[in-house]
Amino acid sequence: MSKLDILTYPNKFLSEPTKPLENIDAKVQQMIDDMAATMYEAPGIGLAAIQVGWDKSLLIYDIAPRNENRSLQVLINPQIVTNEGEILSENEGCLSVPDFRADVERAANITVEGHDREGNPIRMDAEGLLAIVLQHEIDHLNGTLFIEHISSLKRQMYKRRVKKQLKGM
Ligand code: NI
């Protein structure tokens, strides 16, 4: 397994919608393993393929990444089929939006359909942190970063800060 580079805002690629993954072949398995190494190393609780430069509908997550009961989960071509209620995702962050956190309103309960890494169909209900992580990662597959969900004032603050940093490099 090898660690991959994570693209960060304002890389334009992050706002591209991804394409469905048609064939779950050896290349995909390798990508999943490399994404897992990258996510655990970061550390993060979720990672979408687009964040490592691959524009396919694939994400991984593990909401207990530092736990000895680590359990890597893979979703291919996921879709949110129902969403209900509201939950405040406190202090949400993203490996592609370094050094920034903000509260985000998310749906409290969702149902997701997709496929696992063997191609078996999955249908799952999620709430709490899991629902938040899945919405965040599926957003990535649609080219949306969590900063698109916060107030424009806060978003502009972050964008200005990044611009300044890039100028200073
Ligand atoms: Ni993210």
Per domain, the residue ranges of the chain are 12-168
pLDDT band at 76 (very low <50, low <70, confident <90, very high): very high
Of 53-57, 63-67, 78-82, 131-135, minimum mean pLDDT range? 63-67
What is the distance in A from the centroid of ligand 1 to the CA of 140? 7
pLDDT in tens, 112-128: 999 999 999 999 999 99
pLDDT in tens, 129-158: 999 999 999 999 999 999 999 999 999 999
Partner residues linked to 40 by β-bridges: none
Tokens of 49: 């393929």
Q: Is 137 a catalytic residue?
A: yes
Mean pLDDT of 50-72: 93
What is the distance in A from the centroid of ligand 1 to the CA of 156? 18
Whole-structure pTM value: 0.95
Query: Which stretches within the chain are classed as H helix?
Result: 26-41, 128-141, 152-168
Give the pLDDT score at 36.
97
Mean pLDDT of 8-23: 97
Question: Does the structural domain 12-168 have CATH classification 1.10.1510.10?
Answer: no
Contacts 24+ apart (CB under 8 A), 86-94: 87/127, 87/128, 87/131, 87/132, 89/132, 89/136, 92/132, 92/136, 92/146, 93/146, 94/136, 94/145, 94/146
Give the pLDDT score at 152.
94
CB atoms under 10 Å from CB of 156, counted, come to 11
Give the pLDDT score at 71.
94
Catalytic residue among 22, 68, 84, 137: 137
What is the distance in A from the centroid of ligand 1 to the CA of 96? 6
What is the distance in A from the centroid of ligand 1 to the CA of 70? 19
Question: Considering the chain, what is the average pLDDT of its residues?
Answer: 96
Give the pLDDT score at 43.
93
Tell which residue, 71, 25, 63, has the closest CA to residue 45. Answer: 63
Residue with tokens 């309960």: 109
How far does CA 112 lie from the centroid of its chain? 14
What is the distance in A from the centroid of ligand 1 to the CA of 52? 11
